[in-house]
Copies of this chain bind each other. A is one copy, B any other.
């Protein structure tokens, strides 16, 4: 295997399918969109689809497969959703039951697959425009916080919005808003700029998920809706069964990030 970073999305999916890669996917297949995964039995699918429609910033839908389908139509037609994600989480009644490397043996013909946008896409665009991305500079996971901003409920699904935080010097805020506004299908523009306590975050140094990052003197914390929201909401709603990716272990698609910005 040559350096994993030199491979195409298809080649990386094949490594994953064969069990040769089960680590996080950040930095792989640069330029290509990665996606969050949620799989639910069909009886929950309308409620969850409606939830995503009502909460496009935390839950930006890139593709929804028809019941039973495990092949995508647009994101990566040769991919198999049951095997091509490095790690899956199995939730039963809202509790994490297991983390597995494939879900072929669990597959049911009423499963509906949702693929949701991921902030990796806009972080690449920020870096290209010299907007600093602190957790990348510090080689950490992005800090994520559970807020007091409520999601719009739909059917059984409800809960608070989870956000990611990137600290920025004041002169980089406008460029960051402009850049991320172009990427509505991967969380879009920030949901909050400035004082963390206004959205119910009491200690910016203690994220609920991911790692704390340095906030330099004069920098402002900027908050974006986060793809962990749907997982948090699914855990709250406690459906009989839900399968997601393991955070950071994303689905790598054939879509270019630039194509997403033109949707």
Contact = CB atoms under 8 A, between A and B. Distances in A.
A155 interface: yes
A263 B189 CA distance: 10
A149 interface: no
Instruction: Bin the interface of chain A by size.
Output: 10 to 19
A125 interface: no
A77 B9 CA distance: 46
A155 B54 contact: no
Contacts of A73: 152
A155 B66 CA distance: 7
Contacts of A66: 50, 154-155
A191 to B, nearest CB: 13
Interface string A42-67: 10011001100110100001001010
Contacts of A152: 73
Contacts of A61: 53
A184 interface: yes
Interface in A11-42: 42
18 contacts: A42-B46, A45-B46, A46-B46, A46-B49, A49-B49, A49-B50, A49-B53, A50-B64, A50-B66, A53-B53, A53-B61, A53-B64, A54-B64, A56-B263, A66-B154, A66-B155, A73-B152, A184-B184
Interface of A: 42, 45-46, 49-50, 53-54, 56, 61, 64, 66, 73, 152, 154-155, 184, 263
Given A45-B46, A53-B53, 10 more contacts: A42-B46, A46-B46, A49-B53, A50-B66, A53-B61, A53-B64, A56-B263, A66-B154, A66-B155, A184-B184
